[in-house]
Chains A and B, each alone.
Chain A
Amino acid sequence: MRKVRMTGRERVSRMIERKDQDCIPRMESFWNDTLKRWRTEGMVDDPNTIVGNDFQGLCWSEPFPYPGQDIVIKEDADTVTKRDAWGQVNRYWKFREGTPEHVAFPCETKQDWEDVVKPLLLAKGPSVDLAGAQWALKLGRRQGRWCHLTGLETFEMTRHLLGDENTMIAMIDDPEYLIDVSRTMTDLVLADFEYLVDNGIVPDGVWIYGDMAYRSGLLCGPPLYRKLVWPDHQRMAQWAHDRGWPFVYHTDGDVNGVIEDYIKAGFDVLQPLEAKANMDVRNLCPDYGDRLAFIGNCDVMVYATNDLDAIEKEVRSKIEAGKATKGYGYHSDHSVPPSVSFETYCYVVDLVDRYGNYD
């Protein structure tokens, strides 16, 4: 049974500060296909009410060069190829979820960036919805949640504009180009946040999403990360800290090689800690738990076995490792896929209730 004596807002703040909490904060992410399956298996509530959710996003800063663009280029029985608000051409499944196929990008050359995309971006106003943020803040405060500004970071945005291959080649061939893209996109996200703050939105923190890594490490490698991306990461964290707000960073993949760099940049929390990419709070907490809080790492691939003993071992060991530092929150290690049954997930929630209390 979950022992609740605090609001989510208090709990998360105390987690970040390593102060006593009633129980570990929690949140979760689900595939849409998972929720569809669970509705046929008896789920009637919003899944956030099943697991509990101590966090409230207030906005989503993603400065598109072509906001609202959604042009169908071609389609077949199963897939549709579209040009999106980034100007990126992707092929998507029509009737199920999955990572799209990347077909083309708006900045195939530096000229595309300099002559077309950058001017478009700089001519645009804020990409965030003030009314939406005001509503979300009201809701979050009413629900007692920790409210955060949310947006993308530079590497993720650069990949949308240039594509993975061009991004990584440019990091070597033309670092000044990369720095220009990185700086511009970071400026735009921070300008979005400033706009909201100037209009009365006062969050509890800042949460930035990126995807820097895969199962074997950083896509670009630590040296290029430090030279070309880290300065803007540090700038974002500093922006939050200058206002007294903690900074949360989301990345998939194996980022073990740059944890110290994240700490040096001023990151306060790291999430979701992908287990299949060698991320493990049982190692991270003893080594870094005094300087970095962690959310996540409960392995969805173990959930998908539907083996209750294995799931108990997984959830218990991760939560216990995290609790030892008082700087841990529950989340799966990425997002819950449709191979996990509703019954199994309810069991996971029971385990989080059981092991997630601080006595």
Chain B
Amino acid sequence: MELSQLTDAIKTGNRKAAGLLTQEAIEAKCEPRTILDSLIAGMDDIGARFQRNEVFVPEMLIAARAMKESMFILEPLLTAAGIRPEYTALIGTVQGDLHDIGKNLVAMMWKGANFNVVDLGTNVPPQKFVEAAKEHNPDIIGLSALLTTTMPSMKSTIDELKSAGLSKAKIVIGGAPITQEFATQIGADAFAPDAASAVEVVRKLVGAKVSQPVA
């Protein structure tokens, strides 16, 4: 079978086809890693088209849903083969903020890019980010804020992470009031203006390669 059909199923958000084609690929003895790459290629395509304003949040959501369907089938084989996500990301909405829509979209896209994502939820105090970072040793820490009044919590969180000596993780921030200028000001490593560019940003930060389309 052609794995490009599986990539297409992700691109079009066809959950049923994605599940069936994943199963078919497994039965055809395709390597789990290769199947995974074809899924990631589909999500990368969606991300690129989102950045070009060719698709929007609904298309991203159904693509992520199709990917989740495939991963449910594929994950046991990946685990058995010892294939784990190469990178780990923590993400949370900072203390004082309960908003989670943007954070959830970013988490979805990071999972679609095969990051292991640990979602800390909302109203996350700086100390909880520190504890989670010590536990999970992430490559990326994502901070989200919707309100101008909670932006200072981003700085507090970054300061605590640095005081705790957790310098391995690169810190990415995002949210409605956030700008590159603010990110630079508070010592974040990067700013992501939306969920699709958040994938590009974190890949650059960790030096990850982008998946190539699978023939």
Binding site for B on A (CB under 8 A): 78-79, 91-93, 96, 98-102, 164-165, 168-169, 171-173, 214-221, 224, 257, 276-277, 300-301, 304, 337-339
Q: How far is the CB of B166 from chain A (nearest CB, A)?
A: 26
B140 to chain A, nearest CB (A): 21
* A339 in contact with B61 given A217-B53, A301-B177 (CB within 8 Å): no
Distance between Cα atoms of A168 and B179 in the complex (Å) = 26
Contacts of B58 in A (CB 8 A): 168-169, 171-172, 220-221, 224
- State how many angstroms separate the Cβ of B212 from the closest Cβ of chain A: 27
The answer to whether A172 and B62 have CB atoms under 8 Å apart is: yes
Bound-complex Cα distance A277 to B148 (A): 13
A221 near B101 with CB under 8 A, answer: no
A323 CB, nearest partner CB in chain B, Å? 28
For this complex, 19 residue pairs linking A to B, each with C-beta atoms less than 8 Å apart, are A91-B98, A93-B98, A98-B98, A98-B150, A99-B99, A101-B122, A102-B100, A164-B101, A168-B61, A172-B13, A173-B62, A217-B56, A218-B56, A220-B56, A221-B58, A221-B59, A224-B56, A277-B176, A304-B148
A-B contacts counted at CB < 8 A amount to 81
Interchain CA distance A217-B59 in the complex, whole Å? 14
Report yes or no: B98 in contact with A172, Cβ–Cβ below 8 A.
no
A98 touches B56 (CB 8 A): no
Cβ contacts under 8 Å, B98 to chain A? 79, 91-93, 98-101
B61 to chain A, nearest CB (A): 5
Extra contacts besides A98-B97, A101-B122, A221-B55 (6): CB < 8 Å: A99-B146, A215-B194, A216-B193, A301-B148, A301-B177, A337-B149
Residue of A78, A165, A337 contacting most chain B CB atoms (<10 Å) = A165
Cβ of B123 < 8 Å from any Cβ of A? yes
* Mask: chain B, 145-168; 1 = CB below 8 Å from A; 0 = not: 011111000000000000000000
Residues of B bordering A, CB below 8 Å: 13, 53, 55-59, 61-62, 65, 96-102, 104, 122-123, 146-150, 176-177, 179, 193-194
What is the CA–CA distance of A92 and B97 in the complex, to the nearest angstrom?
10
Shortest Cβ distance from A78 into B: residue: B123
B76 CB → nearest A CB, Å: 26
Whether the Cβ atoms of A101 and B148 lie closer than 8 Å is no
A215 to B191: give the CA distance in the assembly, Å: 14
The interface residues of chain A lying within 8 Å CB-to-CB of B104 are 165
Within 8 Å CB of B100, what residues of A?
101-102
B11 to chain A, nearest CB (A): 13
The smallest beta-carbon distance between A132 and chain B, in angstroms, is 30
Contact flag A338-B57 (CB < 8 Å), given A101-B122, A169-B65, A215-B193: no
Question: Chain A contact residues: over half helix, strand or loop, or mixed?
Answer: mixed
Are B56 and A79 in contact (CB-based, < 8 A)?
A: no
Residues in chain B near residue A93, CB distance under 8 A: 98
Nearest CB to that of A91 among chain B residues? B98
CB-defined contacts of A337 to chain B, threshold 8 Å: 147-149
Nearest to A304 among chain B residues (CB) is: B148
Closest to A216 in B: B194
User: A98-B98, A215-B176, A276-B177 in contact; A168/B57 too (CB < 8 A)?
Assistant: yes
**Complex: how many Å from CA A215 to CA B53?**
13
Measured CB to CB, the closest approach of chain B to A130, in angstroms, equals: 35
A-chain residues with CB within 8 Å of residue B56 when the two chains form the complex: 217-221, 224
Are B57's CB and A221's CB within 8 A? yes
Which chain B positions have C-beta within 8 A of A216? 193-194
Distance (whole angstroms) from the CB of A160 to the closest CB of chain B: 14
Question: Are the C-beta atoms of A219 and B57 separated by less than 8 Å?
Answer: yes
Could you tell me the distance between the alpha carbons of A79 and B123 in the complex, rounded to whole angstroms? 10
- Look across to chain A and name the residue whose beta carbon is closest to the beta carbon of B65: A169
Which of B97, B99, B149 lies at the interface centre, i.e. has the most chain A CB atoms within 10 A of its CB? B149
- Which chain B residue lies CB-closest to A214? B176
**Bound CA span A135–B139, Å:** 60
Minimal beta-carbon separation of A307 from chain B (angstroms):
14
Q: CB-CB < 8 A to B96: which residues of A?
A: 96, 98
How far is A276 from B193 in the complex, measured between Cα atoms in Å? 12
